[in-house]
A = this chain, B = another copy of it.
Amino acid sequence: MSDLLERLRGRGWRMTAQRRVVAEVLDGEHVHLTADEVHARAVGRLPEISRATVYNTLGELVTLGEVLEVSTDRRAKRYDPNAHQPHHHLVCARCGAIRDVHPTGNPLTSLPDSERFGFTVEGVEVTYKGICPNCATA
Contacts and interface: CB of A to CB of B under 8 A. Distances in A.
A15 to B, nearest CB: 27
Q: Copies of this chain, how many? A: 2
Nearest to A125: B127
A122 B130 contact: yes
A92 interface: yes
A16 interface: no
A46 interface: no
A115 to B, nearest CB: 4
A35 interface: no
Contacts of A104: 109, 111-112, 115
Contacts of A101: 111, 115, 117
